Amino acid sequence: MSKPARLSGFPEWLPAERLVENHVIDILRRTFELHGYAPLHTRAVEPLSRLAKNGEIDKEIFTVGRLSAGEAESKNPLGLHFDLTVPLARFVTENAGRLDFPFKRYQIQPVWRGERPQDGRFREFIQADIDVIGDGALPEHYETEVALVIAKAFEALRPLGLPPATILVNNRRLIEGFARGAGLEDVPAVLRSLDKLDKIGPDRVHELLLAEAGADDRQARLCLALAAIESEDDGFVEQVRALGVSHPMLDEGLEQLARLVRAAAERAPGTVRAQLKIARGLDYYTGTVYETVLHGHEDLGSVASGGRYDSLASLGSRTFPGVGFSLGLSRLLSRLIGPEGLRASRKVPAAVLVAVTDEESRPAADRAADALRARGIPAEVSPDAAKFGKQIKYADRRGIPFVWFPGTGLAGEVKDIRSGEQSGADAGSWEPPAEDLWPRVVGGAPSHPVGRQ
């Protein structure tokens, strides 16, 4: 086989890093399931027509075909999903008769985008999504719920050494009402301009508003003044009112956002913050929008984003409004996993390496290993009957803490290769210390076991 060339934008973890990723996925699953979200896994491909936005196929979409495509396939070309929201909308309309609404699901899968790869941006990456979908209507309190579930997920990751996260909220109707109240009609252009604030700064956004949103100087100043407002409580309402813009849709957006911020502050003070510059690029959002920043990693951008969408899915006149979050797992872990960050306490699951004296006695080593595994202790057997020193080195290189030397039956000797301590033990009853049973995630704060219990 020829020399391998890495594919840019398609990162892969070494097994010791994948141990950490699996552990993080397990924590997310548990958090989502504790809140009643059911698991979903959708196919990787969708008809290209479904992946199109406003009838146009985005250049970032990966198409899927076959060298010898049949007629049916040529008529219905496929692409890889670029998020988990579009597949969800399709799944809901396809299975509406078999689902119970409101439908709460989580989904942790790879998605694909043909973007230019850069720090934290990949072409294949794992997203962890939660959404609540209603049939016809969806109560507003779910907008608080999804934000707090995501906050709980980040909280559950804190013991691994994750910094605190803040969920930033805004409301599309608030921005749209404000823009209209200020006399601006091209709302998408206003949103697009404000969305660039963090990247290009207020002066250049001011220019953009003039050039692309048809704003005059006063209107651009007003938009930038709005975008500068933020508060942990509903204090933002007064600040917006002070700008002197009024519109019924603005009132509606202010009230919605105030209710969300108050409800969140009551249940989880300090978690959610109104920040009126949050715009979100995706045009299917119709109300509340969310972003999430990790303290000290603000440059990474949002690690969990989402919003309310009222018209993503429908069957004839029947609509399925929804609200949800996408947590960028790969982006998060690209920053956190590494020699200076999170890593597994060992490279393999095994807590014990069973040594082999000679190949004739391998069955005895296998029996000892099986006895340990039967009691939930991960074990592997030495690849060969090399000198014990070499077998200990095999364990040491992988971080396996214990080496077992089989004796008669299940009796043997067990050596903690870190301390060098060795003592007699029985494979039918010996237990490693609980903290050594499974690899742990280390490198951040207190370490946590990686394996399942």
Of residues 315-354, those binding a copy of itself (CB under 8 A):
315, 347-350
74-113 mask for a copy of itself (x: CB under 8 A)? --x-x-x--------xxx-xxx--xxx-x-xx----x-x-
Tell me: is residue 290 an annotated ligand-binding position.
Answer: no
Q: From 7-15, 199-207, 246-254, 441-449, give the range in contact with a copy of itself by CB under 8 A.
A: 7-15
Minimum CB distance to a copy of itself smaller for 320 or for 405:
320
In the DSSP assignment, the letter for residue 68 is T
Tell me: is residue 84 an annotated ligand-binding position.
Answer: yes
| 3-class SS string, 398-425 | HCCCEEEEECCCCEEEEEECCCCCEEEE
Backbone phi and psi for residue 41, each to the nearest 5 degrees, phi listed first: -135, 120
Tell me: is residue 129 an annotated ligand-binding position.
Answer: no
- What does the block give as tokens for 367? 């029996």
Tell me: is residue 254 an annotated ligand-binding position.
Answer: no
Tell me: is residue 319 an annotated ligand-binding position.
Answer: no
Residue 157 makes contact with a copy of itself by CB under 8 A: no
d(CA 395, CA 262): 54
424-443 mask for a copy of itself (x: CB under 8 A)? --------------x-----
Q: What is the CA radius of gyration of the chain?
A: 27
Minimum CB distance to a copy of itself smaller for 177 or for 287:
287
Query: How near is the Cβ of 6 to a copy of itself at its closest, in Å?
Result: 7
Query: How near is the Cβ of 361 to a copy of itself at its closest, in Å?
Result: 12
114-138 as b/e: b if 16+ CB within 10 A:
eeeeeebbbbbbbbbbbbbbbbeeb
Q: From 22-30, 288-296, 299-307, 424-432, give the range in contact with a copy of itself by CB under 8 A.
A: 22-30
Residue 3 makes contact with a copy of itself by CB under 8 A: yes
Contact criterion met (CB below 8 Å) for 299 and 331: no
Residue 159 makes contact with a copy of itself by CB under 8 A: no
Tell me: is residue 107 an annotated ligand-binding position.
Answer: no
Residue 255 makes contact with a copy of itself by CB under 8 A: no
Contact criterion met (CB below 8 Å) for 251 and 163: no
Minimum CB distance to a copy of itself smaller for 14 or for 242:
14
Q: What does 175-237 look like in DSSP terms, one character per residue?
A: HHHHHHHTT---HHHHHHHHTTHHHHHHHHHHHHHHHHS---HHHHHHHHHHHT-EESSTTHH
Q: What's CA 34's distance to the chain center, in Å?
A: 17
Minimum CB distance to a copy of itself smaller for 84 or for 227:
84
Tell me: is residue 148 an annotated ligand-binding position.
Answer: no
Please count the residues of this chain forming the interface with a copy of itself, following the rule CB under 8 A.
103
Q: From 28-36, 193-201, 213-221, 441-449, give the range in contact with a copy of itself by CB under 8 A.
A: 28-36
Q: Is 411 helix (H, G, I), strand (E, B) or coil?
A: strand
Residue 220 makes contact with a copy of itself by CB under 8 A: no
Up-side HSE of residue 88: CA atoms within 13 Å toward CB? 31
Q: From 162-170, 312-320, 406-414, 427-435, give the range in contact with a copy of itself by CB under 8 A.
A: 312-320
Q: Is 1 exposed, middle or buried (0-12, 13-18, 19+ CB in 10 A)?
A: exposed
Residues 120-139 that bind a copy of itself (CB under 8 A): 124, 139
Residues 33-52 that bind a copy of itself (CB under 8 A): 33-45, 47, 49-50
Give every CB contact of residue 204 below 8 A, 6+ residues apart in sequence.
Answer: 196
Contact criterion met (CB below 8 Å) for 147 and 327: no
Q: Is 166 helix (H, G, I), strand (E, B) or coil?
A: strand
Query: How near is the Cβ of 31 to a copy of itself at its closest, in Å?
Result: 9
Residue in the block written with tokens 């699951």: 349
102: cis peptide before it, omega within 30°? yes
Query: How near is the Cβ of 124 to a copy of itself at its closest, in Å?
Result: 5
Residues 260-279 that bind a copy of itself (CB under 8 A): 263, 266-267
Residues 378-397 that bind a copy of itself (CB under 8 A): 378-381, 383-384, 397
Contact criterion met (CB below 8 Å) for 378 and 369: no
Minimum CB distance to a copy of itself smaller for 193 or for 256:
256
d(CA 245, CA 177): 9
Q: Which residues are annotated as a binding site for L-histidine?
A: 83-85, 113, 127, 131, 280, 284-285
Known binding positions: 83-85, 113, 127, 131, 280, 284-285
